[in-house]
Structure 1
Amino acid sequence: MMKSENKLWRMWKVLSLALSIVVRVYWYRLRGKSQWEKEKLWEQIGKEFKETLFELNGVLIKVGQLLSIREDLLPKGFINQIQDLVDHVPPSPWEKIESVLEGEWGGPVSSKVLNIDQEAIASASIGEVYKATLLDGTQAAIKVQRPEIPSLVKTDFRTLSIIIWFARHFAPMPKGFINFKMLYKELKQVIEQELDFSKEMSTGISFKQRFKDHANVKIPTMYPELCTDKVLVMEWVDGVRLNDREAIDLYGLNGQKLAQELF
């Protein structure tokens, strides 16, 4: 078993970091440190937080990603350090991914696809995406749930609940500034939904049907016969990020019209 998959070690790693953060924040407050020094501290904390999550992987990275967009709640120095949690999650070894596919499909990968790139196109906290060619020659994107996720979910939620309790009672911030109970409930609900890929498949099918008459909207076709709660197979569609301004200009798209169409 890899160290990052040892449940007690994971819990100790996160809880010790949480305790360390609280102690340092209180110490800076008691010493009357300047705003600049506090900002530097939060940058350091953000860096340690990110490194710990990368080391542990799994559900906890998803927690970090959800926190990284909460600039209204967390210090800017901290946010700046954890923003790339969204894009730079290390992929799993191919052998483990292949094992998940074989288990979900009930046989060798070659019985379902003509070929599949063994290098992940995208790697996120819960799933990884691979480009494949289906038996009929169709290009497809295959999203596979990380193999270690199911066994770590309970441990990570338990750890998160302890941290939330700790934050509720000891976090150095105005009382009532954050509803920690609600924050935990929201994180748990979002992550549990994302763990079931069949829900994502149903949503994709529903959206495609809903927007079938919108010429400017392209929603990938799902292939339900290949989908399970841990594997999602859909049509491959080339695209660019919305924040890639150069690419948007290259395609001759009007940003304002694009935004209106999206809304």
Structure 2
Amino acid sequence: MTSVRRDRADPVPGAGDTRVRYRRILRFAAWHLAVTWWFELLLPRVGLGRIADRTRAKRMRSFAQHFHALAVDLGGLMIKVGQFLSSRLDVLPPEITRELEGLQDEVPPVPFPAIRALAEAELGAPLDQVFASVEETPIAAASLGQAHRAQLLHTDAADTGLDNVIVKVQRPGIHAIVDVDLAALRKVGGWLSHVRLVSDRADVPALVEEFAQTSLEEIDYLHEAANAERFAADFADDDRMTVPDVAWERTSRRVLTLEDVTAIKITDSEALLAAGIDPAQVATVFASVMFDQLFTNGFFHADPHPGNIFVTPVTDSSAERPWKLTFIDFGMMGEVPPTTRNGLRKLLIAAASRDGKGLVSAISDVGVLVPSAETAELERAMTHLFARFGGMGFAELREVDPREFRDFAAEFGDLVRSLPFQLPENFLLIIRAMSLTSGVCSSLNARFNLWDSVEPYAGQLLRDERGNIVQDVAQQALDAAGVALRLPKRLDGLVTRIEDGSLAVTNPRLERQIARLNRTAKRSASALIFGALLIAGSVVRADDTVLGTVLMIASGVPLLHGLWVGRRRP
């Protein structure tokens, strides 16, 4: 949920509106995909990559501005897509994230008469017979619904133990809007699946389906209410946080009534300090709570932006700290399967111990790197990265000489781009949760160092897993025995291959560099012939129109050859 900016009607879309909406989304996507193809794929292949480099920041900013305008105008899932893009500080340039970061604050509210009509239809009675009072001005508006403060009737308050509540009501017609937006996103996902540069990294249609499932669950408030109770059960004995209670008697698929737990917004540092609460300590506790959700419980809040988390002061003098974190809005939740969770735990431990080889192994276990990938060079790159930048916080990284980052990118950039990375289906929400967590912690403490939270948590994971050390040692002994039994046969085979001259030794990195140089040479020759024929044709055409035209047309042959060579991979 987000703060209210202005008032505007939100009519239920008709069939004509949905067709127009669908076409607008596809036109926007098609145009920007074409622009990206032209600058990022075509121009570099004909030796004009510098033009793409010079204009990249401007193009990224233009894309973000146009998408911002489209999302505000259309609302619906386009707002959700923009919010997701704004949280991807790890992979998207600041020209995009900065432009979209305020998108959630520009959602217009629905006029109260439309909200009243929908709520009364869902609850089966006039609002004044269901609630003692309801504030007509919403306290927050989001792309899928909006929230109003209310009071329960005296009898309901006595039964539930609640008095002040928040009534969350869906936007009228949101189901039709979601259906249209998902249809458009599926079409765009299908386009991207045919772009090898994208399809090698992610199964975009599968990611769209994951986003679709999350979005459809988010507009089912009964599902959100169940999520809230499950989340509360996971942290029932944890004094670091709390969750609002659900008033089930006043809840349906499109109306959700929850305990009013409004308190200090987590990123309001001035209010925290005024209440005697240290923002830096809040950042540390928040990070540890998110780690528990992802690496221990496996059921996590996937939308932990500042509007969904409060810091609630407590008066209990016996409490370890005089405040708690309060989470709200459980429509977007994620689950981490046990196998993925084990891989994430290994990844966390390897990162904390600066273990490049262990990190690469964990990345493979999680599914981000395909099993057939050659990892020796990646392990070297990760070891180098840890040796230079490991343990640095965001503020420290900003102070590093940019030339060091460029040197690292120059040495390992081709390697990383050539590896078969992929984005597993269940990673969309994990990445979003961690991106938002990092952003919230950094806003609370400019010098927040994620390593300070990772290292003690990883140490605890290691201590928790020591109970399995006997099984691990036994498994390692069996593996070693198996290797020992197979070793004589493998050595005999190796000697045989050496004797008959069939032993081949490969260096993947050297082979990639040679192949790249070979392609560059062929592309340069093609570009030279193309330019010569084109210029010759334009000069000759002044005196001999036929010959000049033939030469200019013939220049297309080496141009196509250069494009084909640039497209081919070793």
TM-score, reference length from structure 2: 0.43
Aligned residue number for residue 421 of structure 2? none
Q: Among 114, 118, 125, which residue is 2:136 paired with?
A: 118
Residue 222 (structure 1) aligned with residue 233 (structure 2) = no
Deviates most, 27-36 or 12-21: 27-36
Aligned residue number for residue 55 of structure 1? 73
Aligned residue number for residue 160 of structure 1? 185
Output the CA distance in 2 between the equivalents of 1:167 and 1:206: 36
Compared CA separation, residues 4 and 47, structure 1 to 2 (3 A): farther
- Residue by residue, what CA displacement relative to the aligned partner does 1:201-224 show, whole Å, maximum 9, x if unpaired? 112223334434434423212100
Matches within 5 A, 1:64-83: 64-83=82-101
Residue 149 (structure 1) aligned with residue 174 (structure 2) = yes
Aligned residue number for residue 289 of structure 2? 262
Q: How far did 1:78 drift?
A: 1.7
SS in 2 for 1:87: helix
Q: How far did 1:3 drift?
A: 9.3
Output the CA distance in 1 between the equivalents of 2:201 and 2:105: 29
Residue 253 (structure 1) aligned with residue 277 (structure 2) = yes
Q: Among 195, 204, 218, which residue is 2:228 paired with?
A: 204
TM-score, reference length from structure 1: 0.89
Output the CA distance in 1 between the equivalents of 2:225 and 2:213: 18
Q: How far did 1:43 drift?
A: 0.9
Q: How far did 1:109 drift?
A: 1.0
Aligned residue number for residue 483 of structure 2? none
Structure 2 unmatched ranges of 5 or more: 1-9, 158-162, 291-570
Residue 96 (structure 1) aligned with residue 121 (structure 2) = no
- Is the contact between residue 43 and residue 80 of structure 1 (CA under 8 Å) also seen in structure 2? no
Compared CA separation, residues 23 and 208, structure 1 to 2 (3 A): closer
For the pair shown, the structure with the greater C-alpha radius of gyration is 2
Q: CA RMSD in A?
A: 2.4
Output the CA distance in 2 between the equivalents of 1:26 and 1:216: 49
- Is the contact between residue 4 and residue 56 of structure 1 (CA under 8 Å) also seen in structure 2? no
SS in 1 for 2:200: coil
Residue 12 (structure 1) aligned with residue 18 (structure 2) = no
Output the CA distance in 2 between the equivalents of 1:210 and 1:27: 50
Compared CA separation, residues 216 and 76, structure 1 to 2 (3 A): closer
Aligned residue number for residue 24 of structure 1? 35
- Aligned-partner residue type, residue 127 of structure 1: G
Structure 1 unmatched ranges of 5 or more: none
Output the CA distance in 1 between the equivalents of 2:280 and 2:68: 34
Compared CA separation, residues 69 and 251, structure 1 to 2 (3 A): same
Residue 240 (structure 1) aligned with residue 264 (structure 2) = yes
SS in 1 for 2:151: strand
Q: How far did 1:148 drift?
A: 1.6
SS in 1 for 2:165: strand
Q: How far did 1:53 drift?
A: 1.3
Q: How far did 1:37 drift?
A: 2.1
Q: How far did 1:71 drift?
A: 3.0
Output the CA distance in 2 between the equivalents of 1:181 and 1:73: 20
Output the CA distance in 1 between the equivalents of 2:12 and 2:130: 33
Q: How far did 1:2 drift?
A: 4.9
Deviates most, 253-262 or 107-116: 253-262
Higher helix share: 2
Output the CA distance in 2 between the equivalents of 1:68 and 1:170: 23
SS in 2 for 1:68: helix
Deviates most, 177-186 or 101-110: 177-186
Q: Among 160, 164, 167, which residue is 1:139 paired with?
A: 164
Compared CA separation, residues 66 and 77, structure 1 to 2 (3 A): same
SS in 2 for 1:253: coil
- Residue by residue, what CA displacement relative to the aligned partner does 1:1-59 show, whole Å, maximum 9, x if unpaired? 95966110001110111112122223434264253521111111111111111111112
Q: How far did 1:142 drift?
A: 0.8
- Is the contact between residue 223 and residue 234 of structure 1 (CA under 8 Å) also seen in structure 2? yes
- Residue by residue, what CA displacement relative to the aligned partner does 1:183-204 show, whole Å, maximum 9, x if unpaired? 2122112112211111111122
- Residue by residue, what CA displacement relative to the aligned partner does 1:140-198 show, whole Å, maximum 9, x if unpaired? 11111111211222221111101111222248x46523331232122112112211111
Output the CA distance in 1 between the equivalents of 2:170 and 2:178: 13
SS in 2 for 1:37: helix
Output the CA distance in 2 between the equivalents of 1:73 and 1:181: 20
Output the CA distance in 2 between the equivalents of 1:187 and 1:196: 15
- Is the contact between residue 204 and residue 219 of structure 1 (CA under 8 Å) also seen in structure 2? yes
SS in 2 for 1:229: coil
Deviates most, 83-92 or 125-134: 83-92
- How many residues align structurally? 262
Matches within 5 A, 1:37-56: 37-56=55-74
